[in-house]
Amino acid sequence: MSRAEERRAALAARWLASWPDALRAWGTTTRVADPVLHVRATRHPARSFAWFDGAAVRVHVDLVQVERFGLQDHAVAVLGHEIGHHVLAPGDARTRVAVAHRTRLGLIDQPDLVATVANLWQDMLINDRLERTGGASMAAVWRALRRPDGPGAPEPLMDLILRADELLWRLPAGDLTPRSGSGRADREAYALLLSRLVRAYRTDPVGGAAGFAALVRTYLGEDLASVRPVGCSDVTRVDGVPAGIATDPRLTGPVRHPALDPAVVGDLETDVAGDGTGTSQGGQPPPQAAEHGIVGSSRDGATPADLAETMRALGMAADPRTVAATLYREHAAPYLVRFPARPTARASEPLLGALEPWQPGEEIGDIDWSATVLASPVVLPGVTTRRRVMDEDTSTQHADEPVHLDLFLDSSGSMPDPTRALAPVVLAGAVLALSALRAGASVRVTIWSGPGQVASTPGFVRRPDEAMMALMTHYGGGTSFPLHVLRRTYLDGVDRRPTGPVHVAVVSDAGVSTMFPRQGEDVGIAARALEAAGGGGSAVLNVSSVRVAPDVAPFDRYVVSSADDLVPFAADFARRWWGRAR
């Protein structure tokens, strides 16, 4: 071990001794495994001297960089900051994606900056909490980084952040920022807004993320390219959509510039000296805020395309169909219904009956040797030999056999692409598929559009992932229902079908009329196939009125054209089929 490594090993021991103090900065009950302190140069994924690994729930510190920046005496502040990424912001993968999503909306057209800006916002919340109540001086860390051999003068965004920190922590101007300032006349107004934003959303990283991004967008303008990538936040890859993000209420609501956010500027005209957010000096909202304004609002949360874009901005795997399937599955969960089942007689079971004499000429395997020996230790065929009589269970109990589902989803140009926006009619199809699978049934999903545009799951499947991925397929072509699939499965017996009744469900719009041709060899196929399937049928239609498709008489018809229709759809389906299954 070199002398430098020995020195850093001693430094690591000092920092490890400070770990309990760093934990106490977040409360007496905070528990995290000991940090990983690197005494040799390491290729850290966060491009920082410290970072947090959410997968292992461990803090990492590169002591080579700590020595380079002169931070040897700031163990509690550095370690406490990284613990903050576990405790406060983001805390978990779901919040991490939610913060990034709101940040992307605020930046509007800068997806490459999402990860960096989101991390800077979370850093501000953590640093302010530590400085105010954590007993760790983040201001001292910033002063150390301003040394002549430190990282150098801050770029415009960091200059703004440090000036906001001075206002937050009641420090004189120039304590953390260069005393000459940035030379921008509007820096003070933006710094005041930023300081108030931090306090307004001090425990809500998602709620303030869009406002912070909007402020950054208007402040930097053409200087956005000057933002340097940072990444001390959680470096763990999230290769799937976090559970609960699809219906997370924090993703909804407008994107407000802080200058237009009542939570931030409700009393901006008042002198706020002494409350920790600065004074009213320079407190006029910057004119660029009006240009940014209030943008976007979604009652239903992120669309599949939006969330996929956010995942890509974080450098994560984001196949649009996989993301969309996850969102539809979460949105469908509250509407799952009890899928129909048919009562069937329970299979008879053999029961042990009485003992009878066994006679020569009968099957020798029928002899019950235990009973024979108990009758007499001397075995005399036809005299002492015994056999057991088997009876049948005569119980009249019945078991419910689930009705299987054959789901046909219209994927023509008149139907929405489920991977771009949440389509209520496709969501209704997901409700049927997931309800059937939950009941123990098997499901086949067939996507259809024009002639020759047909895709199906590999037969009837029992895995939700297979069914949901199939539902996310979209052709966008013409409209021609694949009657040949019904014929092959239920009339010709070519395609394999499950034993028992099958419910045929069609998700479509006015194109459902192609199921019922007026002439030709396909006339009547749909009605005859439905009868052969034996489990009834449903037509889930995205139409203004069921009268658009009068030919769908053999099917129970449901109109689903908005998210508000899903509750009555699920209730009506349950009402029709629960009684029918009993």
Q: What residues does each domain of the chain span? A: 1-87, 92-307, 347-394, 402-581
Mean pLDDT, rounded, of the chain: 84
Which segments of 348-460 does DSSP mark as H helices, in order? 369-375, 424-438
pLDDT per position as a tens digit, 390-425: 776 655 555 678 889 999 999 999 898 999 988 888
**CA 467 – CA 474 distance, rounded (Å):** 14
Specify the pairing of strand 404-410 against strand 502-508.
parallel
pLDDT band at 354 (very low <50, low <70, confident <90, very high): confident
The pLDDT assigned to 108 comes to: 87
The pLDDT assigned to 281 comes to: 41
The pLDDT assigned to 550 comes to: 57
Q: Which two tokens stand for residue 103?
A: 């940040």
**CA 382 – CA 380 distance, rounded (Å):** 6
Q: Is 371 helix (H, G, I), strand (E, B) or coil?
A: helix
Q: Is 72 exposed, middle or buried (0-12, 13-18, 19+ CB in 10 A)?
A: middle
The pLDDT assigned to 279 comes to: 40
The pLDDT assigned to 272 comes to: 37
Q: Which two tokens stand for residue 290?
A: 């009006």
- Over 70: is that where the pLDDT of 291 sits? no
pLDDT band at 299 (very low <50, low <70, confident <90, very high): very low
Q: What is the CA radius of gyration of the chain?
A: 34
pTM above 0.95, yes or no: no
- Over 70: is that where the pLDDT of 283 sits? no
| The domains spanning 1-87 and 402-581 adopt the same CATH topology | no
The pLDDT assigned to 355 comes to: 84
pLDDT per position as a tens digit, 557-579: 888 888 788 888 887 887 777 54
Q: Is 558 helix (H, G, I), strand (E, B) or coil?
A: strand
**3-state helix vs strand vs coil in the chain, percent to 5:** 45, 15, 40
Query: What's the fold here for domain 402-581?
Result: Rossmann fold (3.40.50)
**CA 251 – CA 257 distance, rounded (Å):** 16
Return the minimum-mean-pLDDT range out of 77-86, 344-353, 469-478.
Answer: 344-353
Judge contact between 499 and 481, C-beta under 8 A: no
The pLDDT assigned to 153 comes to: 54
Domain 1-87, CATH among 1.10.3470, 3.40.720, 3.30.2010, 2.60.120: 3.30.2010
**CA 117 – CA 104 distance, rounded (Å):** 9
Cα angle value 165/167/170 (rounded, 5°)? 105
| Cβ neighbours for 38, distance < 8 A, ≥ 6 positions apart | 44, 60, 61, 62, 63, 64
pLDDT per position as a tens digit, 101-146: 999 999 988 888 999 999 999 999 999 999 998 888 999 999 998 7
Between residues 316 and 511, the one the model is more confident about: 511
- Over 90: is that where the pLDDT of 506 sits? yes
- Over 50: is that where the pLDDT of 582 sits? no
The pLDDT assigned to 579 comes to: 46
| Cβ neighbours for 245, distance < 8 A, ≥ 6 positions apart | 94, 97, 98, 251, 302, 307, 330
342 to each of 397, 439, 534, how far by Cα in Å?
13, 12, 10
- Over 90: is that where the pLDDT of 363 sits? no
Judge contact between 534 and 494, C-beta under 8 A: no
Specify the pairing of strand 350-357 against strand 386-392.
antiparallel
